[in-house]
């Protein structure tokens, strides 16, 4: 993985900056020393361009996912990737040294450094000992820090308890983060989360508000009588995305008691069969609404 990430960095960053980074990594692997390591980790900002965009080809993105399923570096910048590579130099250190170094970095890190540290978690050793710090990081009110843990990062799905996972997903809904970018959303669905989604929806409806349509993705496979009634309600809202979400929930549930609902959503269910409607497509549409000229409003 390190060679692949280095190649990605080389394509987006100045050659002299990459050379500086590789020299620092080699020094630390040959003879690790905490203070020089901290200086090098922080020093990334002095050697790499401040707003350096990371260019990742589809082939490179696929290779990253192949080696670490659920991981995506598409939304990283060169600062983050350079710092992640620096952190990978800690792999051969004793567990106590490794954990002390990660803790010390987090205690002094600025926001971009924190995001890099959390992004590296699925690639680092001793992951069972990093769980609490990841949960603590999710308490941040800084969206970039939250996103570095919750989005395109397989660490939470692999390591969190159901309770911690559910709290992360619910916070993502509260702060309007794109759920389709949460790695492992399907595999970590559970009855408690589905019930919490229903409860939140009722709270919002009572206040004249809605929950994001893709939140119902967490209810697939857990359609209780309460959630069945919620799906009926979605059809009454008149919102196309709510109807699409209801159809996506129902498409994988053959329960006879839901036949009436499926009958009212034939068009949407046909779109699912044709491949033009999916949870990811719905999530993308909600994240990047279509503009007046018909183009997605991506940044």
Q: Looking at residue 55, what DSSP letter applies? A: P
Q: Which long-range contacts (CB under 8 A, 24 or more apart) does 98-105 make?
A: 98/124, 98/125, 98/126, 99/126, 99/129, 100/34, 101/34, 101/37, 102/130, 102/133, 103/133, 104/34, 104/38, 105/38, 105/41
Q: What is the 3-state secondary structure (H, E, C) of 20-36?
A: HHHHHHHHHHHCCCHHH
* Nearest-angstrom CA–CA distance, 272 and 86: 43
Instruction: Give me the pLDDT at residue 252, please.
Output: 82
Q: Is 144 exposed, middle or buried (0-12, 13-18, 19+ CB in 10 A)?
A: middle
pTM of the model: 0.92
**pLDDT for residue 288:** 78
pLDDT in tens, the chain (299 residues): 999 999 999 999 999 999 999 999 999 999 999 999 999 999 999 999 887 889 999 999 999 999 999 999 999 999 999 999 999 999 989 999 999 999 999 999 999 999 999 999 999 999 999 999 999 999 999 999 999 999 999 999 999 999 999 999 999 999 999 999 999 999 999 999 999 999 999 999 999 999 999 999 999 999 999 999 999 999 988 799 999 999 999 998 778 888 888 899 999 999 999 999 999 999 999 997 644 444 445 54
Beta bridge partners of residue 296, listed in sequence order: 290
Q: What is each CA distance from 115 to 3, 149, 219, 253, in whole angstroms? A: 21, 8, 30, 38
Other Cβ atoms less than 10 A from the Cβ of 17: the count is 19
CB under 8 Å to 1, separation ≥6 — which residues?
A: 64, 67, 68, 88, 123
């Amino acid at each position: 993985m390190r060679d692949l990430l280095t190649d990605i960095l080389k394509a987006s960053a100045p050659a002299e900056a990459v050379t500086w980074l590789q020299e620092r990594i080699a020094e630390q692997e040959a003879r690790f020393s905490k203070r020089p390591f901290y200086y090098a980790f922080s020093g990334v900002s002095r050697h790499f361009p401040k707003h350096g965009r990371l260019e990742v080809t589809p082939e490179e993105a696929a290779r990253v996912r192949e080696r670490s399923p659920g991981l995506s570096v598409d939304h990283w910048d060169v600062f983050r990737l350079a710092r992640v590579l620096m952190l990978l130099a800690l792999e051969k250190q004793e567990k106590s040294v490794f954990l002390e170094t990660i803790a010390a970095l987090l205690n002094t890190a600025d926001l971009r450094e924190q995001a890099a540290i959390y992004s590296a978690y699925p690639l680092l050793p001793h992951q069972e000992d990093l769980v609490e710090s990841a949960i603590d990081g999710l308490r941040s009110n800084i969206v970039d820090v939250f996103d570095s843990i919750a989005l395109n990062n397989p660490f939470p799905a692999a390591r969190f308890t159901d309770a911690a996972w559910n709290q992360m997903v619910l916070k993502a809904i509260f702060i309007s983060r794109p759920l389709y970018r949460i790695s492992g959303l399907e595999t970590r669905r559970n009855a408690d989360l589905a019930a919490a989604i229903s409860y939140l929806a009722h709270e919002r409806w009572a206040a004249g508000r809605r929950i994001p349509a893709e939140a119902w993705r967490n209810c697939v496979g857990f359609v209780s009588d309460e959630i069945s009634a919620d799906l009926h309600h979605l059809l009454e809202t008149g919102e196309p995305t709510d109807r699409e979400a209801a159809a996506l929930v129902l498409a994988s549930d053959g329960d006879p008691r839901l036949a009436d609902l499926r009958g009212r959503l034939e068009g949407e269910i046909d779109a699912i069969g044709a491949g033009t409607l999916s949870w990811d497509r719905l999530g993308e549409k909600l994240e990047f609404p279509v503009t007046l000229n018909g183009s997605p409003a991506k940044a």
